[in-house]
Chain A
Amino acid sequence: MDDIQIIELFQKRNEDAIKESRTKYGRYCASIAGNILHSAEDTEECVNDTWLRAWNSIPPEKPKRLAVFFGRIARNLAIDRYRKNTAAKNGGGQTALCLDELSECIGEESAIEDRLALKEIIQKFLTGLPERNREIFLLRYWYMMPTTEVAKSRGMTEGAVKMMLKRDRDKLKDVLMKEGVGI
């Protein structure tokens, strides 16, 4: 079933929308949540919650790219769950690694208060990256894909992926410092 038909099912409040979404995007969402949580049980719950969250959002929302819409929900739910797990000392997966890597580019001296401004900076930074670098950056920090998987998906060596990410984190660090974010 194509995305437009699935969205129509959501809009008509037809519960087949969830079934069709699970069939088409279940593995995709599980892959994103799994990278973050590293736990089959937590991942499954997260993916189930994704359909529920989508059910409550459509309508009024009408996603342009359904995959990204579901993926973003799964990512956010998984990060929330990761934070709860971490508080209970059960955290794991790629999230801790991604956070560790990102801490190289942002200080903790002052708390970030203007998230909208940060969003604009990040958007501009990513738009300015060469396409290949942007893809690699987002596969790592949006999808939180392990670097080995990023390398395989783009036909690169893992070392090259890591070096590219390192260089781009350095660039982001410069941008954030220049903008005075987190200093």
Chain B
Amino acid sequence: MKNNEILLDVIGEVDEKLLPELSEKKKKHKAPKWAAIGGLCAAAAIPLALLLPKAWNRSPFSTVGSKDMVLALASLPVIPAYPTNDDEEAYKAWSTAKRALRDQPKGYSDGFDIFFENSARTFLADANKENVVYSPLSLFMALGMTAEISGGNTQAQILDALAQDDISSLRSHAKSIWEANYNDDGVSKCVLATSLWTNNDFAYNMDTVNHVAENYYSSLFTGDPGNPEYSKLLQDWLNEQTGDLLTDYTADINMDPAMLITLASTVNYEGKWATQFNKQATSPDTFHAASGDETCDFMNAIQSTSYVRGDKFSSISLDLEENGCMRLILPDEGFSPEDLIRDEAVLNYLSNAADPSQNKNVLAEIHIPKFDVSSGIDLSKGLKEMGISDVFNADKADLSPLVGKDTAISLSKAEQDSRVKIDEEGCKAASLTVLELCGAAAPKDSVEFKLDRPFIFEIMSESGLPLFVGIVNTVA
């Protein structure tokens, strides 16, 4: 008998006092109340745990030292609330603030498309009939912070994976990407947040820590990783930054007592459909899931939308009020979403804002299942496949900019938890629909677009970067 079979047998012999009732009452799932569409991502919590310390001596660097766990909270840009009436001054203030953030140097996102295509292929191509949600933007930020505290070949591998020439271009690109995608005006939201969690019993190069905090708009915390209150603070921070949408995942995130530093990156996105779905038109229908037919609610509408007929897929794009769009990609019969993710042309389509020459403005009869999908991705294997390997090996990892050369540490955990949900609600500011559609050519053709089998979705920010991409294989 194999060891895993013995293990299964032995689990069967566990004391009956520990066994849960099979028929326990179902607990009501806390369905978060929020607007029409949201992508949440408590992403890439990356603890760097101490491995085989060569020395635990105080380094010449200054120590964090404070008993207070909160050392610094990120100071975020302020965007005036979106004007709810015809107040021209308020609109001007809102518009100026947004434009200031969007107005970034030319080429600020260079390399992101290459990183996106490689990482999306790595993390989505093996969905294996399950749902998977991935936030490239959140991982980019977490890896960027890791590059900042790395040196030598460890840093070079991360820069290669991020398709950045050097650390200074990464730094400026990351800052620009952060700013260009930030939005929180009371109507729509795209908040990127990062944080560093240090061990108060260890000496760091605080120049490096402060440098990361400044360039990545990070909050800074310190504490004893063995203290449950410190883990609780991390969970609370993640929950706050993700609007409590990922509490199922964060409840189980605890710091290793040997943790030296944890880098956390989140994206909290919330938008409203530019054109409202009528709740009365929602009706149950069959979704041909990867593992069999399922019944779920479909939102039905006839809308003017941009439509792309690709080689192996068709796609529509639904605008979100002042907050980018969602693209829905339906593979042609005979192809799965995973097949498409492996296809260079499709990845290229996903990584770029819509090319007007590909788009056709049509009147579409659309049928979209309401979905609420989430997944937890263990990033370790995929990151190694992307060439980031040294940081996982205590003998090779160079994190000297953070801890000096006498301490051997390595990346012990890397994971990303994400959730995306759509429904009909939240589309209240119809006036913006007009603004969005203004200037578009009148729809000439009509198509039917029915998402009744596994598909790909993508939430693209207003600045044209993919915030979330995912595969929906089941809606049950």
Contacts and interface: CB of A to CB of B under 8 A. Distances in A.
A143 B376 contact: no
A102 B4 contact: yes
Interface centre among B10, B22, B24, B376 (most CB of A within 10 A): B22
A103 B4 contact: yes
B16 A118 contact: no
Interface string B354-397: 00000000000000000011111010000000000000000000
B23 interface: yes
A162 B20 CA distance: 18
Interface size class for chain A?
A: 35 or more
A69 B18 CA distance: 13
Given A79-B12, A108-B2, A141-B11, A152 B20 contact: no
A157 interface: yes
Interface stretch (A4-12, A40-48, A128-136): A128-136
Nearest to A113: B6
A178 to B, nearest CB: 14
A134 B17 CA distance: 12
A160 B3 contact: no
Contacts of A100: 4
Contact of A163 (B10, B27, B249): B249
A71 B16 CA distance: 10
Interface in A116-171: 118-119, 122-123, 126-127, 132-135, 138-139, 141-143, 145, 148, 152-160, 162-164, 166-167
B201 to A, nearest CB: 22
Interface in B461-476: 476
Given A163-B249, A163-B376, A138 B14 contact: yes
A156 B31 CA distance: 10
Interface string A70-83: 01100110010001
A133 B251 CA distance: 10
A100 B419 CA distance: 26
Q: Is the interface of B mostly helix, strand, loop or mixed?
A: mixed
Given A133-B252, A163-B252, A155 B28 contact: yes
A95 B5 CA distance: 10
Interface centre among A28, A108, A158, A160 (most CB of B within 10 A): A160
A159 B134 CA distance: 12
Contacts of B3: 103, 106-108, 111-112, 181-182
A58 interface: no
Interface in B1-48: 2-16, 18-24, 26-30
Contacts of B13: 119
A148 B9 CA distance: 23
Contact of B19 (A79, A112, A138): A138
A78 B8 CA distance: 12
A52 interface: no
Contacts of A71: 19, 22
B131 interface: yes
A102 B8 contact: yes
Interface string B241-279: 000000011011000000000000000000000000000
A12 B163 CA distance: 77
A21 interface: no
A50 interface: no
B415 interface: yes
A37 interface: no
Contacts of A102: 4, 7-8
Contacts of A143: 22
A177 interface: no
Among B2, B19, B28, B375, the one with the most A-chain Cβ atoms within 10 Å of its Cβ is: B19
B417 interface: yes
A99 interface: yes
A79 B2 contact: no
A69 B476 CA distance: 33
B470 to A, nearest CB: 11
Contacts of B6: 112, 115, 118
Nearest to A72: B12
A156 B22 CA distance: 16
A95 B302 CA distance: 46
A54 interface: no
Contacts of B12: 72, 75-76, 79, 142
A152 B22 CA distance: 12
A98 B10 CA distance: 13
A157 B419 contact: yes
A116 to B, nearest CB: 9
List 3 A-B pairs, minimum CB-CB distance, nearest first. A163-B376, A160-B248, A155-B29
Interface of A: 28, 31-32, 64-65, 67-69, 71-72, 75-76, 79, 83, 95, 98-100, 102-103, 105-108, 111-112, 115, 118-119, 122-123, 126-127, 132-135, 138-139, 141-143, 145, 148, 152-160, 162-164, 166-167, 181-182
Interface of B: 2-16, 18-24, 26-30, 130-131, 133, 248-249, 251-252, 372-376, 378, 415, 417, 419, 476
Given A142-B11, A155-B29, 20 more contacts: A31-B22, A64-B16, A72-B16, A75-B12, A102-B7, A103-B2, A105-B7, A118-B10, A119-B14, A122-B11, A138-B19, A138-B20, A139-B22, A142-B19, A148-B476, A157-B372, A159-B417, A159-B419, A162-B375, A163-B415
17 contacts: A102-B8, A108-B4, A115-B6, A119-B14, A122-B10, A123-B14, A127-B18, A139-B20, A142-B14, A155-B28, A155-B29, A155-B30, A159-B419, A160-B248, A160-B374, A163-B376, A167-B252
